[in-house]
Structure 1
Amino acid sequence: MSRARSASSNSKILEPLYEDQLGGREWDDTCDVLVIGWGAAGACAALEAASQGAHVIVADRFTGGGASAKSGGVVYAGGGTRHQQAAGFDDSPQAMFDYLKHETQGVVSDATLQKFCDDSVSNLGWLEGHGASYAHSVPPGGKTSYPSDGYFLYYSGNELVPSHAGAQPPAPRGHRTVGKGQCGAVFYAHLKAACLRAGVQPLLQSAARRLVLDDSSRVIGAQFWSLPQGSREARLHERLAARAERLQNFAPAYCDRLRQKVSQLERDHGQPVLIRARRGVILSTGGFIFNRDLIREHAPDFRRNFKVGATGCDGSGLLLGQSVGAKSERLSRVSAWRFINPPHCWPKGIVVNTHGQRFCNEEVYGATLGQPLCEEQGGQAWLVLDARLRKQAIRQALFGGYWWFQTLPALALMLFKVRKGDNPDRLAAVCGMQAGELNGALCAYNAGARGDGPDAFGKSEGSRQVLDNGPFYACDISVGNPIFPLGALTLGGLKVDESNGAVLNEQGQPIAGLFSAGRTAIGVASHLYISGLSLADCVFSGRRAGLSASCGSEPARDAGAAVHQSDQVDAFASRLAPTEATGVTL
Structure 2
Amino acid sequence: MDELVVDVVIVGFGAAGACAAIEAADAGAEVLVLDRFSGGGASVVSGGVVYAGGGTAQQLDAGVEDTPDAMLDYLRQETGGVVSEETLRRFCTSSRDMITWLEGNGVPFEGSLCPYKTSYPSDDHYLYYSGSEAAGGFRDIAKPAPRGHRVKGPGTSGKLLFSRLAAAVRHRGVRVLPQAHARTLTVDDQGAVTGVVVDTLRDAPRWARAAHRHLARYAAKPGIYVPALRKALHRRAAKLERRYGRELRISARRGVILAAGGFIANREMVREHAPDHRGGLALGTSADDGSGIRLGVEAGGATAGLERISAWRFLSPPAAFLGGILVDADGGRIIDESRYGAAIGERMIAAHGGRGWLLVDEKIVAEARRDGRSQSQWFQWLQLRYLLRRGRVTGATVDEVARKAGVAPDGLLAAVEAYRAGPDPTGKPAEFARPLDAPPYSLIDVSVKPNLGYPCPMLTLGGLVVDEDTGAVRGADGRSIPGLYAAGRTAVGICSRSYVSGLSLADCVFSGRRAGINSALAQGVLDKNENVF
In which range does the TM-score fall when normalised by the shorter chain?
over 0.9
Match of 2:363 among 382, 388, 396: 388
The C-alpha deviation readout for 1:517-569, integer Å capped at 9, x for no partner, is 011100001111111111111111111101111122399xxxxxxxxxxxxxx
Distance in 2 (alpha carbons) for counterparts of 1:60 and 1:197: 18
Note the 1:314-325 alignment, pairs <5 A.
314-325=289-300
Which consecutive unaligned segments of at least 5 residues does structure 2 have?
A: 526-533
SS at match of 1:302: coil
Residue range with higher mean Cα deviation, 242-251 or 203-212: 242-251
2:54/2:70 contact within 8 Å kept: yes
Give distance in 1, aligned partners of 2:243 and 2:384: 44
Partners of 1:231 and 1:274 in 2: how far apart?
Answer: 22
Once residues 146 and 334 of structure 1 are traced to their aligned partners in structure 2, the CA distance between those partners, rounded to angstroms, is 20
Determine the structure 2 residue equivalent to 1:568: none
Counterpart position of 1:189: 163
Q: 1:28 maps to what in 2?
A: 3
Question: Residue 438 of structure 2 is aligned with which of 469, 472, 497?
Answer: 469
Letter in 1 for 2:302: K
- How big is the alpha-carbon RMSD for the aligned residues of Structure 1 and Structure 2? 1.5
The question of 1:529 aligning with 2:466 is answered no
Q: Does 1:544 find its partner at 2:514?
A: yes
TM-score (norm 1): 0.87
Match of residue 483 from structure 2: 513
Separation (CA, whole Å) in 2 of partners of 1:536 and 1:208: 25
One of 372, 384, 409 as aligned partner of 1:397 = 372
Shift of 1:250: 4.2
Alpha-carbon separation, structure 2, partners of 1:61 and 1:498:
27
Q: Indicate the larger mover: 228-237 or 42-51.
A: 228-237
SS in 2 for 1:122: helix
SS of residue in 2 equivalent to 1:436: helix
Q: Secondary structure at the match of 1:28?
A: strand
SS in 2 for 1:457: coil
Contact 1:95 1:166 in 2 (8 A): no
Specify the alignment match of 2:344 in structure 1.
369
Q: Residue by residue, what CA displacement relative to the aligned partner does 1:180-215 show, whole Å, maximum 9, x if unpaired? A: 211111111111011111111111100101000112
User: Of 90, 100, 103, which aligns to 1:115?
Assistant: 90
1:64-88, Cα deviation, whole Å (9 max, x unpaired): 1111111111111111111111211
Partner of 2:529: none
Match of residue 334 from structure 1: 309
- The alpha carbon displacement at 1:431 in A equals 2.2
Gaps of 5+ in 1: 1-24, 449-453, 556-586
Superposed structure 1 runs of 4+ greater than 4 Å apart: none
CA distance in 1, matches of 2:376, 2:23: 38
Question: Which of 15, 19, 27 lines up with 1:40 in the alignment?
Answer: 15
Amino acid at match of 1:287: G
Matched residue, 1:426: 400
Q: Give the secondary structure class of the aligned counterpart of 1:61.
A: coil
Tell me whether 1:164 sits opposite 2:134 in the alignment: no
Distance 1:468 1:143 in 2: 22
Contact 1:144/1:344 (CA < 8 Å) preserved in 2? yes
SS at match of 2:143: coil
1:276-295 aligned at under 5 Å gives the runs: 276-295=251-270
* Identity among equivalent pairs (%): 45
8 Å CA contact retained: 1:496, 1:515? yes
Structure 2 contact 74–142 (Cα < 8 Å) conserved: no
Partner of 2:428: helix, strand, or coil?
coil
Match of 1:95 among 59, 65, 70: 70
Given candidates 285, 293, 302, the residue that maps to 1:310 is 285
Q: Which residue does the alignment assign to 2:246?
A: 271
Question: How far 1:280 moved relative to its partner?
Answer: 0.4
CA distance in 1, matches of 2:338, 2:118: 10
Q: What residue is the counterpart of 2:528 in the other structure?
A: none
SS at match of 2:352: coil
Amino acid at match of 2:342: A
2:391 corresponds to 1:407: no
SS of residue in 1 equivalent to 2:221:
helix
More displaced 10-residue stretch of structure 1: 105-114 or 466-475:
466-475
* Distance in 2 (alpha carbons) for counterparts of 1:234 and 1:166: 55
Tell me if the contact between 2:70 and 2:142 (Cα under 8 Å) persists in the aligned partners: yes
Q: Distance in 2 between matches of 1:50 and 1:120?
A: 22
| Aligned partner of 1:500 among 451, 457, 470 | 470
Superposed displacement of residue 225, structure 1: 1.0
The alpha-carbon deviation at position 337 of structure 1 amounts to: 0.6
Residues 85, 435 of structure 1: alpha-carbon distance in 2 compared, 3 angstrom cutoff: closer
Cα distance in structure 2, aligned partners of 1:199 and 1:263: 30
Q: Tell me the distance in 2 between the aligned counterparts of 1:307 and 1:513.
A: 31
- SS of 2:372 mapped into structure 1: helix
Q: CA deviation at 1:314?
A: 1.1
**Is 2:185 the counterpart of 1:177?**
no
Cα distance, 1:267 vs structure 2: 2.1
**Contact in 2 for aligned 1:278/1:554 (Cα 8 Å):** no
Paired residue type of 1:419: V
Number of the residue aligned with 1:17: none
Aligned to 2:223: 248
1:67-78 map, 5 Å: 67-78=42-53
1-structure distance, mates of 2:360, 2:224: 27
Larger Rg over CA atoms: 1
Q: 2:273 aligns with which of 295, 298, 304?
A: 298
- SS of aligned partner of 2:482: strand
Matches of 2:80 and 2:398 in 1, distance apart?
38
Instruction: Label 1:482 to 1:181 Cα distance change in 2 as closer, same or farther (>3 A).
Output: closer
Q: In structure 2, what is the Cα distance between the partners aligned to 1:219 and 1:370?
A: 39
- Partners of 2:328 and 2:234 lie apart in 1 by 35
